[in-house]
Structures are given as C-alpha cells and as structure tokens.
Amino acid sequence: MHRYVILFLILATMISGLLPNVTDITTASADRLGRGINLGNALEAEQEGWWGVTLQEEYFRLVKAAGFDHVRVPIAWSHHTDHHPPYQIDETFFQRIDWVLEQSHSNGLKVVIDAHHYHALNSNPAGEKNRFLAIWRQIAERYHDRGPWLYFELLNEPQEAFNADPETWNSLLAEALSVIRASNPTRKVILGSVHGYDLNTLPLLRLPSDPNLIITFHYYGPIEFTHQNAHWIYPSPPLGQTWHPDDPALNGENWSWGTTLQWVANGLQVTYQYGYAGLYMHSFPIQGPALLRVKADRNATGMEVNCKSPDGDTFFVGSSFDLIAHQARLLTVPVACHNAGDIIIMSSQPQTLVFLDLTLIEDGKERPLLTTAAERARSTMAWVADWARSRGLEVYLGEFGAYSGDPSGNGPVDLASRIAWTRMIRAEAERQGMSWAYWEFGSGFGLYDINQNRWRAALLQAVIPSETRIYLPLTQR
C-alpha cells in the first residue's frame, strides 16, 4: 500500500517576473475535456517501454490528484494489427488498452485515444485505407458501450501524401467517421487537418455534417525554441534559445530564405543576400480581402509581396512595389492570397533595410506581423478560436510543450523560459475557451520525473496554476 503526503504548490510568485498578467480560466465541464496531459512515449512506440515509458497504475492517480481532467493516450495501433484482411488487432494489446481505459475512468479522468505514428498510411493512403478503417471498426465496436468520457481521435497529425492532396484526407476522415458512427452514433470524435495539424491548414478541412466533432491542432511555435536539440528534427535547432513574452517576434514561423534577420531598436533589419530572396512569415490564413501596410527606414526598389497556399505547395506572385523612407505604403493583398497561410516579402536585388511596420489589415482589424512573443501566442489562439466559433465547432489544443533538450526531461534548455512559454500558451488557450493536453508526462518534455518519482513542480505550476494537492508516494509495503 502507498503512503502519501499532501504538498501544496504555491510557486507562481517565484516566476511572476517572466509571466504575463492573464486570468486563468478552467475549461472543464460535463461535456468538455478541460485540462489534460499526454501519456506519450509509451503506447505509440513499437513496443511499450522501448522509449523509456511504461504506464503504471500510479500515474493515473498522480495525474488526477495534480488537477488534470483527462489524459490523451497516443497509440500506434498499426504496430499491433495484421497486414492482411480482416486486419485483426492483437488481443493482448487490446487488453492493455482496456486496462488504460479502466485506470483512467476509475480515477475520474476522461480519455482520448488516437491512431498515432501510422507512417504507412501517411505515405500510402490508398494502400492502407482498408486496414485503417478496419482498425477503427474494431476500436469502435469494442468500446461502443463506454460512456461519454471516452473520445476517439482519428489520426494524429496527417501528413506526407495527405499534404500533397488534402482532399484525400477529407475523403478518408469521412469514411472513418461513418465506420465509427455505425456503432457509436453520438461519441465525440476529434480530428484535425494536414501538415501535422498545422493550424494554417484548417481552412482545407471539409467536414461532414455531424454535431459531435471536435477540431484539434498542435502548437509548438516558435520551433527554434520549443525543439532545441530535438534529435527527431533535421537540422535540430541549436541549444541556447530563450523565450520571454516581451521578446520581439514575427507573427508566424520564420521560413525566410537568402536573408539575414536581426531585431534592432526600431524594427526588423532584413538583409536580402541576393535577388529574389524572401522574408517568409508562415502565419495563419488571410480569410478574404486584405491590405498590407509596409514602412521601412530607407528607400527600397524592386520589392514584391507574394504568398503561398495553406498547403504550402502553390506559390502566388503578387504585386511589385517601391518604398520611400519612413513613408507607409498600403498595398492590396492579391486575391490569390486569400485563404493563404503565408506572406512573403521579396526583393529583386540584394539590399538591407529595417522594416518599421508590417501590418495586415483584414475587415478593419489589424494584425501586426512584427510583434512580441506574447502577442504572437495570443493572436494565434484567437484566430483558431474565431475560425472554429464561426463554424460552431469546439476546439482542442491536443499538444503543446517545450523540449528540455534531453530525453530524460532534465536537459539544459532554460527552465524559466520553458515555464514562461508553457504558462502563456496554456493561459491563452483557456482564455479562448479551449480544452488542451500538455505534451507530455514523463519524457523529454515531461512534467513528471519518472526516475525521481516526482513532479517538476515549477513547470507543473505553469500548467495547473492554482493551489493543487499532489499525492506523492513515499514508501511501498
């Protein structure tokens, strides 16, 4: 039997100097997921334990006691499913998932189960379609009598072939949903868009008419901070990056080429190293007619504003323009850029200038492209929420987190920065009424140190900010 001690965590004041002034909003309710954590690096491995995490009964009690409302459980069903009809899922593995559901429900946790790391489906949708549908048919039939505390998530981060043809994903998700609805007519089903749940591709989704759908996305921006020393990314972002809410930032991922960017006192200095290099901001889509306000510190000629489609595959050539020093230029964003996710400001020749203002104006609302780290997070969450609300959809932020720089979770990335970033994203998601799940429990991003059997208290405080009773096992007997 475990013996427990109650620890009260009151740590917010220790890090208040780095954190924005926000109001914490609890999103849990009878029909919402609320606050969650991913039990990652366990059941999505080829064999549980190969990536350092084997789920324990104790983990579910700890998660509930810490104040979480649900767990998201990444599952690689494809590793445990026959490759020939009828594509049977291994019964022993199924029983392991039964156990996960029992542990979650008995501890008062809702649970999301997904199809994770289905690489063969991403690379060959036509060849794997029947197997994918058979997997979901078996899952749906086995768990059809579970209560509304169980949620299904169709496919984690569709990509590869789905990126090249998003309609392939739209067609497959409709078929998979139909399979599930045959035995689970009202169960909540979670789904997202292509390019790995990139929020910029949400407009590419074609959703069936179904009142029990939840839209999901994942957020790890800026990637150069959240994935420092991450071995699964090539090239891996180098160590040494910090994050503060008041840092200057582009309002989107920096995908520029042939340029050198440097923040200076009055704006963003851009050196175009050769002709048709580009300042490329991978931001959320423009929904319709828009203007771009541009101002620089010096004269500039041969400039162009261009864009790419939400799937990133189609390049649209926009309009050419010149700049007069310190005079704002108001440009019409080309019609081809409507519903596009990216803005690219190119130069036909090598030159250096400081952009004093880059602002998109859409429906009278201004979206600064030169902003702060905090405002970038705030505007991103607001855009997703507005997009979903306009369609009557609930939103789930299924993953967010900042890697420690080491698989143990005790890496060298600046902890104060990780705390500030984590709290900012969590708070902004809640401000917009989103349920969320932190990535993840006990590995390189982990809130819990599975080797020391204890929470990383300051990081946990950023995720669950209220006074929280946490029960820690002291002895076993």
E strand or H helix that includes residue 141 = helix 125-142
CATH number at 357 reads: 2.60.120.430
Q: Is residue 435 part of a domain?
A: yes
One-letter identity of residue 412: P
Inside any domain, residue 248 = no
The reported pLDDT for the residue numbered 266 is: 93
Please report, for residues 181, 202, 208, 397, the alpha-carbon distance to residue 176 in angstroms, rounded to integers and kept in the order given.
9, 19, 11, 22
Assigned token pair, 134: 């058979």
**Of the listed ranges 91-95, 317-321, 365-369, 439-443, the one predicted with least confidence:** 317-321
- Top pLDDT among 360 and 183 is at 183
Statement to judge: residues 338 and 469 lie in one domain: no
Residue 20 in any domain: the answer is: yes
Q: Report the C-alpha dihedral over residues 309, 315, 320, 323, rounded to 10 degrees.
A: 70
- Six token digits for residue 411: 């890496």
**Confidence bin at 341 (pLDDT 50/70/90):** low
Residues 206 and 71 in one domain: yes
Q: Are residues 69 and 212 in the same domain?
A: yes
Predicted local confidence at residue 20, as pLDDT: 37
Percent of the chain with pLDDT over 90: 78
Residue 473 predicted with pLDDT over 80 = no
Q: Which of 336, 368, 400 is the last residue of a domain?
A: 368
> Looking at 12-21, 140-149, 209-218, 291-300, which range is the least confident one?
12-21
Q: Between 397 and 467, where is the model more confident?
A: 397
Q: Are residues 274 and 400 in the same domain?
A: no
243 domain residue, yes or no: no
Instruction: Please give the residue that has the higher pLDDT: either 285 or 323.
Output: 323
Domain boundary (368, 383, 408) is at 368
Is the same domain home to 37 and 150? Answer: yes
pLDDT band at 334 (very low <50, low <70, confident <90, very high): confident
Q: What is the Cα–Cα distance from 17 to 411, expressed in whole angstroms?
A: 23
Both 51 and 132 in one domain: the answer is yes
Contacts for 28 with CB less than 8 Å, ≥ 6 apart: 34, 35, 69, 435
242 assigned to some structural domain: no
Q: Average pLDDT of 338-358?
A: 89
Q: Rounded to whole angstroms, how far apart are CA atoms 470 and 447? A: 13
CATH code at position 187: 3.20.20.80
Please, what is the average pLDDT of the chain? 89
Clarify whether residues 179 and 102 are in a common domain.
yes
Based on the fold, state whether residues 36 and 129 are members of the same structural domain: yes
Q: What's the CA dihedral at 245, 249, 250, 253 to 10 degrees?
A: -70
The per-residue pLDDT for range 181-223, each reduced to its tens digit, is 999 999 999 999 999 999 988 989 999 999 999 999 999 999 9
Written as one string, the DSSP assignment of 362-391 is ETTEEEESEEEHHHHHHHHHHHHHHHHHTT
SS3 at position 308: strand
- Average pLDDT of 252-265? 93
Looking at residue 318, what is its pLDDT?
A: 76
How far apart (Å, rounded) are the C-alpha atoms in residues 397 and 218?
6
Measured distance CA(198)–CA(218) in Å, rounded: 7
Q: Return the minimum-mean-pLDDT range out of 50-54, 86-90, 166-170, 252-256.
A: 252-256
Q: How far apart, in whole angstroms, are the C-alpha atoms of residue 65 and residue 323?
A: 59
376-391 mean pLDDT: 94
pLDDT > 70 fraction of the chain, expressed in percent and rounded: 89
Whether residues 62 and 171 fall in one domain: yes
The answer to whether position 106 is within a domain reads yes
Whether pLDDT at 311 is above 90: no
Q: Do 306 and 206 share a structural domain?
A: no
pLDDT number for residue 285: 78
Last residue of a domain, one of 345, 368, 391: 368
Ranking 24-28, 78-82, 95-99 by mean pLDDT, the lowest is 24-28
Distance (Å, whole) CA 199 – CA 382? 12
Question: 296: helix, coil or strand?
Answer: strand
For residue 310, the model assigns a pLDDT of 63
pLDDT at 24: 38
Query: Does the pLDDT of residue 471 top 60, yes or no?
Result: no
CA distances from 214 to 137, 172, 207, 477 (A): 20, 17, 11, 44
The answer to whether the beta carbons of residues 317 and 333 sit under 8 Å apart is no
pTM exceeds 0.85: yes
Per residue in 275-284, pLDDT tens? 999 999 887 7
Taking the CA atoms of 261, 263, 264 and 269 in sequence, report the sign of the dihedral they define. positive
Query: 114-136 b/e with 16+ CB inside 10 Å = b?
Result: bbbbbeebbeebeebbebbbbbb
Q: Does a structural domain hold residue 240?
A: no
Q: Which domain holds residue 332?
A: 253-368
Tens digits of residue pLDDT in 385-417: 999 999 999 999 999 999 999 999 999 999 999
Cβ partners under 8 Å of residue 370, min gap 6: 248, 250, 251, 267, 268, 355, 357, 358, 359
175 pLDDT higher than 60? yes
H or E element, residue 170: helix 166-181
pLDDT of amino acid 8: 34
- Determine, yes or no, domain membership for 244: no
The helix (run of H) or strand (run of E) holding residue 73 is strand 70-73
Let me know whether 325 and 472 are in one domain: no
More confident residue, 30 or 438: 438
Per-residue confidence band for 30, with pLDDT thresholds at 50, 70 and 90: low
Confidence band for 17, pLDDT divided at 50, 70 and 90: very low
| Of residues 336 and 13, more confidently modeled | 336
User: How many folded domains does the chain comprise?
Assistant: 2
SS3 content of the chain, % helix, strand, coil (to 5): 30, 30, 40
At residue 270, the pLDDT reads 97
In this structure, the answer to whether residues 427 and 412 fall within a common structural domain is: yes
pLDDT digits (tens, 9 = 90+) for 320-331: 999 999 999 998
- C-alpha to C-alpha distances, 283 to 201, 343, 399, nearest whole angstrom: 11, 7, 19
